[in-house]
Amino acid sequence: MSLPLAGGDGAVAALNLYSSRPHAFRPQEQAAAQRFADEASRTLSLALRLAHHVETIDQLRAALTSRSVIDQAIGIIMGQNQCDADAAFAILRAASQNRNVKLRAVAAEIVTAVGKAQPTSGHPFEG
């Protein structure tokens, strides 16, 4: 007997039950198996949502850490070029695009060159 499990978000799974004798799954056993499959579907859906949220949190933490270095570089560019934050970001972005280097890497180079040390990565986030 095979019952589909609905995990959402394109997750595909099945609950497969086996018996050593033919026609072993009468209506009562089929109903019990369906209840179990329904619970397993809810559990699978919850596990997938939890994994998605953990991944999102990790990505946001990484983005905020990178943003700290980028903001430091923008401040340096503002001071050196006597411009506002938008113009400084445009300069940083242009340098990144012209050199075909990630924005964070260019920002880290600027902060390292001015500060004579590796840039700080911001404060760690507590979860």
Q: What is the rounded distance in angstroms from the CA atom of residue 31 to the CA atom of residue 39?
A: 13
**In the chain, beta strands by DSSP E:** 2-6, 12-16
Helices (H) and strands (E) in the chain, counts: 3, 2
Distance of CA 4 to the CA centre of its chain: 28
Q: What is the rounded distance in angstroms from the CA atom of residue 90 to the CA atom of residue 102?
A: 14
- Model confidence at 124, in pLDDT bands (50, 70, 90)? low
Q: What is the pTM of this model?
A: 0.59
The per-residue pLDDT for 63 is 84
CATH number of 2-115: 1.10.10.10
The residues spanned by each domain of the chain are 2-115
For residues 97 and 66, which has the higher predicted lDDT (pLDDT)? 97
User: What digits encode the pLDDT tens for the residues 12-23?
Assistant: 899 999 999 988
Q: Which of 20, 118, 126, 30 is nearest to 68 (CA)?
A: 118
Q: Is the pLDDT of residue 76 over 60?
A: yes
Q: What is the mean pLDDT of residues 39-65?
A: 91
